[in-house]
A and B are shown apart, each in its own frame.
Chain A
Amino acid sequence: MSFEPKILGIACNWCTYTGADLAGTTRLHYPQNLRVVRVMCSSRINPSFIFRAFQLGADGVLVGGCHPGDCHYNTGNLYARRRLAVTKKILEFAGLEPGRFRVEWISASEGNKFAEVVEEFTAQIKKLGPQQKLKIDELQEKA
């Protein structure tokens, strides 16, 4: 059986989640590996959500928000952008391969972009193979 990665998507309610909806209503096809969690704003994302997902065996995490400057809550995604940039550094410092964590700004009208990003990201994760650096069982086995 070929490797089917588990990918966690965290999408903001107003842009990326609506964009994903649009991708659905326009009958676009994209891989089924993405599991989406909705939050009201990308700024709601606590980095611990992302760490926890990787601990639980996520092979990739995709965060989606409104385009910077276009946030429904005026400035939320600007905070998110800074915070997620730091999160990415920490993940890589902890040993995660670069490329497993990605942040994309997808607006509500960009259903196409959503499908393209998911397609591309899934292909990239497939190439990287299963994620074992941060997964809890693997770590415990080593210890």
Chain B
Amino acid sequence: MAQFDKTFPTLDCSACILTPKMDAVLQHSNIKLMTYCEVSEVKGFVGNFDIKIRQKARYVNHDKCNACLACTEKCPGKGVAEWDEGLVKRKAIHIPFPQAVPQKPVIDRDACTYFLKGKCRLCEKVCEQKAIDFEQQDTFIDVKVGAVIVATGYNLMDTKPLVQYGYGKYPGVYSALEVERLFNSAGPTGGKVTLRDGKEPQAIAILHCIGSRDKNNYEHCSRVCCMYSLKFAHLFKEKTSADVYQFYIDIRAAGKGYEEFYNRIIEEDVKFIRGKGTRVAESSDEPGRLIVEAEDTITGKFVQLPVDMVVLSPAMIPREDSKNIARLFNLSTDKYGFFMERHPKLAPLSTMSEGVFIAGVCQSPKDIPDTVAQANGAAAEALTIVSKEKMELEATTAMVNPASCCGCQNCVRVCPYGAPSFNYDKGVSEINEALCKGCGLCASVCPTSAIIARHFTNEQVLAEIEGLMEF
């Protein structure tokens, strides 16, 4: 959100909403903010998680640094500015953007002259606080927590493999987040909408549903593209004199004030063509211009439209490491890698792992208000766990009858939640009821029927079957 310029449908300044919140989190006495970290190991269960966190090496000692940023001025290293979607370069020692929290720099190893060539250390010379530390290593921090909220966000689909749209091939083709940066007054162009050659575009086409609602790529609707494409149209009209064309399948403006915003954009002389853009090609008559091809499904005619700038609205997809996070926290994912909630209607914030909650687009594509609503809910759910002395557990759990346990440890091997453990002193398995989800898998692999799946015991199920076979 911090990368955006305005938010739909109210056109509020995005940074004005977010950056004070970010700072408030940093300053809050009850919140410990850990940036540039990764969870590397999760043990324990609800109320008693032991989490190992890897603090990646920044090569800057943040306790000593006083954020004067003299180092970033002198640094000769050039790296790709991820924050500006690679539209410009940034220094090797950098802070991602001026309002970043904490406002202290980090060294990008892949761009740093010292790490690449073995000499430079200019930042070390200019740093009065002696905060630069090229010897810094990754460190591990252990924390004990009662509940976890996973809010790992999303990626935009890489549209390069969709060669028909020419992203990466024609300089006039942009992805949506790049355009957000062009609008932003702190962005690479200072808020001016210009093409890569510095000219102002005369005609702009916005192509919806690139990769989403598409059987060949992602079947889901990314939910926000219609609205931000309408917002783009408004901002293009405000900042340029260009003609703006929308190539859409349907406009999905379901949300408070969204339909009204759509009607407002129609009034602003934006041209809507109902048909998915099928191809972007270079114009043969006017070099440098692009031709967008589509079938207008209202008139049934084939459209070939010359434009200067094409904006692709790519699918929102799970982050590349979502499967790793799912494995760490024992979450289930759908076929693309979005995390599964425990119940689509009744438990949309909980996961199958007790005490682990999800919020935001890591669950499914959603807009900012929905994400905030879900995050508030997840925070409340987490608080109900950590504020209590004792926890209520599900009654449907398994238990071991130690008298008949033979110690084969089949249950320990099959349980996906690690609930059974083997007690070597007693020579029997024991089940941690806080971890048990009650599936009953252990009960059916137990050769001596020592494990009792409560509410679904062998006797109960057999009695049910006997009763059912009588009539």
- Which single member of B414, B458, B468 contacts A79 (CB below 8 Å)? B414
CB distance from A44 to the nearest CB of B (A): 3
From B417, B456, B464, A40 is in contact (CB under 8 Å) with B456
* Contact segment of B263-271, B361-369, B440-448: B440-448
- Identify whether the interface residues of A are mostly helix, strand, loop, or mixed: mixed
Q: Known interface pairs A43-B439, A79-B445, A83-B444. Does A37 touch B461 (Cβ–Cβ under 8 Å)?
A: yes
- Verify if B153 is at the interface (C-beta below 8 Å from A): no
In chain B, what residue has the closest Cβ to A75? B416
Does B205 count as interface, using CB distance less than 8 angstroms?
no
Contact indicator A44/B416 (Cβ below 8 Å): no
Does A23 count as interface, using CB distance less than 8 angstroms? no
B332 within 8 A of A: yes
A94 to B248, CA, bound (A): 62
Chain B residue nearest to A41 in the complex (CB): B439
Residues of A close to B441: CB separation below 8 A: 41, 43-44, 73, 76, 79
Q: Is the CB of B469 within 8 A of A74?
A: no
With A8-B465, A37-B465 known to touch, is A46 a contact of B458 (CB < 8 Å)?
yes
B81 interface contact, C-beta 8 A:
no
Which chain B positions have C-beta within 8 A of A81?
none
A52 and B444 contact, CB distance less than 8 A: no
A58 — which chain B residues lie within 8 A by C-beta? 469
Residue in A41, A44, A53 whose CB lies within 8 Å of B465:
A53
Min C-beta distance of B461 to chain A, whole Å? 6
> A44's contact among B417, B443, B462, by CB below 8 Å, is which?
B443
Interface string of B435-471 (1 = CB under 8 A from A): 0011111011100000001001010011011101100
The answer to whether the Cβ of B189 comes within 8 Å of any Cβ in the partner chain is no
Task: Say yes or no: is B304 at the interface (Cβ < 8 Å to chain A).
Answer: no
**A48 near B: Cβ within 8 Å?**
yes
Name, among B439, B444, B466, the residue most crowded by chain A CB atoms within 10 Å (CB to CB): B439
Contact across chains for B456 and A73 when beta carbons are under 8 A apart: no
> Which of B352, B440, B462, B464 is A43 in contact with, Cβ under 8 Å?
B440
Cα-based distance from A48 to B465 in the complex (angstroms): 11
Residue of A nearest to B352 (CB): A72
B437: nearest chain-A partner, CB-CB: A73
Query: A46-B458, A79-B441 known; A56 and B466 CB under 8 Å?
Result: yes
Q: Are B438 and A40 in contact (CB under 8 A)?
A: yes
Closest to B461 in A: A49
A6 at the interface (CB under 8 A from B): yes
Q: Interface 1/0s, chain A 45-82, versus B by CB < 8 A?
A: 11011001100111000000000000011111001000
Whether A35 lies near B458 (C-beta < 8 A) is no
Question: Is A39 an interface residue when CB atoms closer than 8 A count as contact?
Answer: yes
Across-interface contacts of A79 in B (CB, < 8 A): 414, 441, 445
* Interchain CB contact under 8 A, A72 and B332: yes
Which A residues are CB-close (under 8 A) to B458?
A: 46, 48
Tell me if B14 counts as interface (CB < 8 A to partner A).
no
Indicate whether B55 reaches chain A with its CB closer than 8 angstroms.
no
Q: Give Cα A44–Cα B453 distance, bound, in whole angstroms.
A: 8
Interface centre among B330, B414, B469 (most CB of A within 10 A): B469
Q: B465: which A residues are within 8 A, CB to CB?
A: 8, 37, 49, 52-53, 56
**Most chain A CB inside 10 Å of its own CB: which residue of B352, B416, B444, B445:** B444
Residue pair B416, A76 in contact (C-beta under 8 Å): yes
Chain A minimum-CB-distance residue to B443: A44
Map CB proximity to B onto A22-42 as digits: 1 under 8 Å, 0 otherwise: 000000000000010101110
A95 shortest CB reach to chain B, Å: 19
Give the residues in chain A near B453, CB-CB below 8 Å.
40, 44
Q: Is B396 an interface residue (CB 8 A)?
A: yes
* Of B332, B396, B438, B462, the contact of A49 (CB 8 Å cutoff): B462
With a CB–CB cut-off of 8 A, which chain B residues contact A43?
Answer: 439-441, 444
Distance A28 CA – B283 CA, assembled complex (angstroms): 56
Chain B 408-439 interface 0/1 with A at a Cβ cutoff of 8 Å (1 = within) = 00000010110000000000000000000111
Rounded to whole angstroms, the CA-CA distance of A72 and B437 in the bound complex is 10
Residues of chain A within 8 A of B330, CB atoms compared: 74
Given A37-B464, A40-B456, A44-B456 in contact, is the A6-B440 Cβ separation under 8 Å? no
User: In whole angstroms, how far apart are the Cα atoms of A44 and B458 in the complex?
Assistant: 10
Q: Which chain B residues (321-361) contact chain A, with CB distance < 8 Å?
A: 330, 332, 352
For the complex, give the distance between the alpha carbons of A96 and B157 in Å.
53
In whole angstroms, how far apart are the Cα atoms of A135 and B353 in the complex?
43
Closest A-B pairs by Cβ, 10 of them = A44-B440, A41-B439, A43-B441, A56-B469, A35-B468, A73-B439, A74-B416, A46-B444, A37-B464, A75-B416
Instruction: Show 17 residue pairs from A and B whose CB-CB distance is below 8 angstroms, ordered by the A residue.
Output: A6-B468, A37-B468, A39-B440, A40-B438, A43-B439, A43-B444, A44-B439, A44-B440, A44-B441, A45-B444, A52-B462, A56-B466, A56-B469, A58-B469, A73-B352, A73-B416, A76-B439
Interface residues of B (CB under 8 A from A): 330, 332, 352, 396, 414, 416-417, 437-441, 443-445, 453, 456, 458, 461-462, 464-466, 468-469
Binding site for B on A (CB under 8 A): 6, 8, 35, 37, 39-41, 43-46, 48-49, 52-53, 56-58, 72-76, 79, 83
Q: A41-B441, A52-B465 are in contact. List 18 more A-B contacts (CB 8 A).
A: A8-B465, A8-B468, A37-B464, A39-B440, A40-B396, A40-B439, A40-B440, A41-B440, A43-B440, A44-B443, A44-B444, A46-B443, A46-B444, A53-B469, A56-B465, A75-B414, A76-B439, A83-B444
